Amino acid sequence: MTKRIFSGAQPTGNVHLGNYLGALKNWVALQHEYESFFCIVNLHAITVTHDPKLLTESTRNLTRIYLAVGIDPQVSTVFIQSDVPEHAELTWVLNCVVRISELERMTQYKDKAKKQQQENVTAGLLDYPVLMAADILLYQTDLVPVGHDQKQHLELTRDLAIRFNRDYGETFRVPDAYIPKVGAKIMSLSNPLKKMSKSDDDANSRIMLMDDSDTVVRKFKRAVTDSGTEIRFDESRPAINNLLEVYHLITGKSAAEVEDHFAGKGYAQLKGDLAEATIEFLKPFQQRVREISDDELDQILERGREKASRIARATLQQVFERTGLTGSLKR
Ligand code: ATP
Ligand code: LTN
């Protein structure tokens, strides 16, 4: 049987180069090898304060971004999480499997809770990884392509699947994370010790996929560098290492070719070439984003909803049977 992949991104703000290089780029590459499900996880987006109008708009924009980076709706299933109520239903069942202490240990929860005022930390924020586990387990997923920051959530997903299977009988496939060797943690342009993040207060710390050319040039120009002048991959110089990693991934040149290209050159050249390569990638991408019509989008999402619902329903049905959540004997 063809193996399945499932992944998703939150429709919060816009997509940055880290999201693309760490996750979306791999979704595109893997979609022909696997039966693929790519979800716009809007239920996750309401775990922190949000603007309802913006959320609807961002949900559609993120779908356009999935398509414009190269997700092919003819081969992959693209859908909105809240269109398939089974995600919330399975979350409830898994809430009765997960331990509160497991959730309190999640580093993303601790970081995000710190950023919210204490009285505004919702139960949804704590429960976020359980919803993510439900997303993945509903589709009997084999592989989950994500960036490094999601590793802990994937481990919890596996633990919950194993525990449920042990207590109620074999029901869920236990998924593996797919975390790329290069690109799983693109760093901030302002602070190479922090990951590039949507929620960083400093907008110059990240390149957004919808940034115009001048903005891209400006942001790379302002990017911090390390001491020393040589331009080569070196983990002890995180800023240059990060810029080179981006260049390597965007151009598709090997690490050796990248080092050759920059041998004897300075930081200004690196930043200029990086901006040029990024713009070359972004221009046609942004053009594709603009070309996707509302009708086309609606059709793709409706087809996605139908296909996803069918599979999600079948898994949930089994879960209900195993847990005794069936009033009638024939359900
Ligand atoms: P933030 O950028 O604010 O941390 P997020 O991780 O919550 O955002 P999502 O849109 O849900 O954002 O993430 C989509 C994907 O991008 C995930 O698979 C995540 O692991 C990946 N990702 C996020 N930041 C990076 C990064 N700096 N480098 C590589 N991958 C990343
Ligand atoms: N938490 C993830 C987004 C996400 C996800 C998923 C990723 C929600 N559900 C299922 C993979 C599989 C994040 O990147 N912030």
Using one digit for the tens of pLDDT, what is the confidence trace for 230-257? 999 999 999 999 999 999 999 999 999 9
When comparing pLDDT for 279 and 115, which is higher? 279
Three-state secondary-structure class, residue 38: strand
Single out the catalytic residue among 3, 53, 110, 112. 112
The reply to whether ligand 1 has any atom less than 6 angstroms from the CB of 26 is: no
The reply to whether ligand 1 has any atom less than 6 angstroms from the CB of 146 is: yes
Is 196 among the domain residues? no
- Phi, psi of 77, deg, nearest 5: -95, 120
pLDDT in tens, 195-228: 999 989 999 999 999 999 999 999 999 999 998 8
Three-state secondary-structure class, residue 207: coil
What was the pLDDT predicted at 33? 97
Per DSSP, 24 falls in state I
Is 208:15 a contact under the CB 8 Å cutoff? yes
Which amino acid residue places its CA nearest to atom 9 of ligand 2? Answer: 132
Residue 271 has pLDDT above 50, yes or no: yes
**Cα dihedral sign for 279, 281, 284, 286?**
negative
What was the pLDDT predicted at 13? 79
Distance 17 CA to ligand 1 centre (A): 9
What was the pLDDT predicted at 14? 86
Nearest to 46 by CA among 35, 37, 38, 55: 55
Average pLDDT over residues 60-73: 98
Same domain, 238 and 276: yes
Same domain, 224 and 116: no
Same domain, 145 and 10: yes
Per DSSP, 116 falls in state S
Q: Which of 79, 128, 132, 199 to mutate to test the pocket of ligand 2 (most atoms within 8 A of CB)?
A: 132
The reply to whether ligand 1 has any atom less than 6 angstroms from the CB of 147 is: yes
What was the pLDDT predicted at 328? 65
Residue 161 has pLDDT above 80, yes or no: yes
pTM of the model: 0.96
Is 215 among the domain residues? yes
Single out the catalytic residue among 25, 185, 195, 271. 195
Mean pLDDT of the chain: 96
What was the pLDDT predicted at 331? 46
Residue 131 CA: nearest ligand 2 atom is: 9
How many other CB atoms sit within 10 Å of the CB of residue 51?
Answer: 9
Residue 153 CA: nearest ligand 2 atom is: 1
The reply to whether ligand 1 has any atom less than 6 angstroms from the CB of 251 is: no
Which amino acid residue places its CA nearest to atom 11 of ligand 2? Answer: 7
- Percent of the chain exceeding pLDDT 90 equals 94
The reply to whether ligand 1 has any atom less than 6 angstroms from the CB of 184 is: yes
Catalytic site includes residue 198: yes
What was the pLDDT predicted at 250? 97
Three-state secondary-structure class, residue 139: coil
Same domain, 139 and 237: no
Residue 266 has pLDDT above 90, yes or no: yes
Is 315 among the domain residues? yes
Is 197 among the domain residues? no
Same domain, 227 and 174: no
Same domain, 208 and 298: no
The reply to whether ligand 1 has any atom less than 6 angstroms from the CB of 65 is: no
Is 194 among the domain residues? no
Q: In which band, very low, low, confident or very high, does the pLDDT at 36 lie, cut at 50, 70 and 90?
A: very high
When comparing pLDDT for 1 and 177, which is higher? 177
Element counts in the chain: helices (H) and strands (E)? 14, 5
Reported in sequence order, the residue ranges of the chain that DSSP labels E, i.e. its strands, are 4-9, 35-40, 76-80, 143-145, 176-178
- Percent of the chain exceeding pLDDT 70 equals 98
Same domain, 21 and 170: yes
Q: Kindly report the length of the chain.
A: 331
Domain span holding position 57: 4-184+293-323
Residue 171 has pLDDT above 80, yes or no: yes
Is 192 among the domain residues? no
The reply to whether ligand 2 has any atom less than 6 angstroms from the CB of 61 is: no
Is 114 among the domain residues? yes
Q: In which band, very low, low, confident or very high, does the pLDDT at 101 lie, cut at 50, 70 and 90?
A: very high
Distance 325 CA to ligand 1 centre (A): 36
Amino acid (1-letter code) at residue 193: L
Same domain, 129 and 220: no
- Phi, psi of 80, deg, nearest 5: -100, 130
Residue 19 CA: nearest ligand 2 atom is: 14
Same domain, 239 and 114: no
Q: What is the CATH classification number for the domain harbouring 22?
A: 3.40.50.620
Nearest to 154 by CA among 132, 171, 185: 132
What is the spatial distance between Cα 96 and Cα 134, in angstroms, rounded to a whole number?
12
Average pLDDT over residues 19-37: 98
Q: What angle do CA 49, 187, 116 make, to 5 degrees?
A: 20
Average pLDDT over residues 257-285: 97
Is 189 among the domain residues? no
Same domain, 173 and 58: yes
Same domain, 9 and 156: yes
What is the spatial distance between Cα 44 and Cα 10, in angstroms, rounded to a whole number?
7
Single out the catalytic residue among 3, 198, 265, 307. 198
What was the pLDDT predicted at 18? 98
Count how many domains the chain has: 2
Ligand of minimum distance to the alpha carbon of 199: 1
Average pLDDT over residues 272-283: 98
Q: What is the CATH classification number for the domain harbouring 252?
A: 1.10.240.10
Distance 125 CA to ligand 1 centre (A): 16
Q: What angle do CA 101, 47, 79 make, to 5 degrees?
A: 110
Residue 265 has pLDDT above 90, yes or no: yes
Same domain, 86 and 153: yes
